Amino acid sequence: MTGSESEGRLGEEFFVPGTSSFAQFLAAHRPELLPMSPQLPPGVRAAPGRFPHGTTVLALAYRDGVMIAGDRRATMGNLIAQRDLEKVHPADDHTAVAFAGTVGLALDMIKLYQVELTHFEKIEGIPMTLNAKATRLAGMIRQNLGQAMQGLAVVPLLVGYDPSAPEGGRGRIFSFDVTGGPYEKSDFHAEGSGSPFAKGALKKLFHPRMSRREAASAALQALYDAADDDSATGGPDVNRRIFPLVSVITEEGFERLPETETEQLSREMVEQRRSRPDGPNATA
């Protein structure tokens, strides 16, 4: 800290006109505080199975907006590191982000991203557009490329409600690769080691005019299928009462489905799977 900061006063850098990006401000004045700053020496790779990793997250558009969900399991190699991890987080009132990958870096990146959006709105007086939010998150992922190449990758999934989009397409979904490349997805998408199985289930169950309950049921079915074939994905744990996190973003903003609603849908699904282990058929 500078002398003025140690005395409780802000440093001069806080009073110099500059960028509306909080991440760029940190990079210029406190780069060591960035979660994307290098943590491993050059040429060193993270040992497999030594850091908790989160896995399957998914999103799907539905009649009133967009839904985003994730399982709760984090793994370290063949070990279950955590059973109740939260992988879905609001970024602002009309945007949410979920993650697969290295848990510690992902949580720090999400916190920085939340501050980034709030900082921009306070400086500029208007919220970012959804396209700009995707671009900002892509930049953060790109800054983490060095660590991703060392085995500490973070792969987020971004969703938002865009009131400027045509009706029926206001729930938007963005995926990213480890280099920060953003890709807008239509209808649904999933990330993480269980994503191929989750996307297969969503392809079977999705239709564009789904109600909130139908969308939540489809999300839970997709996560169940992912857990059925991917050991790193956790299914509903009825005994411990640990169920996937499901959230929606509509014109009214971000809302996490109550645990009672998610539990009821999960228990109904588990009971249905007793007679139909492979899940429901595709909708007509």
What pLDDT score does 48 carry? 67
What pLDDT score does 10 carry? 55
| Residue corresponding to tokens 């960035």 | 34
The structure's pTM equals 0.85
Residue pair 172/156 in contact (Cβ under 8 Å)? The answer is no
Strand partners of residue 157: 98, 175
Annotated catalytic sites, by residue? Answer: 55
The low-confidence residues of the chain, meaning pLDDT below 70, are 1-20, 22-48, 284
For the record, the structure tokens of 92 come out as 């602002």
Whole-angstrom Cα Rg for the chain:
20
Residue type at 185 in one-letter notation: K
Q: Is 41 helix (H, G, I), strand (E, B) or coil?
A: coil
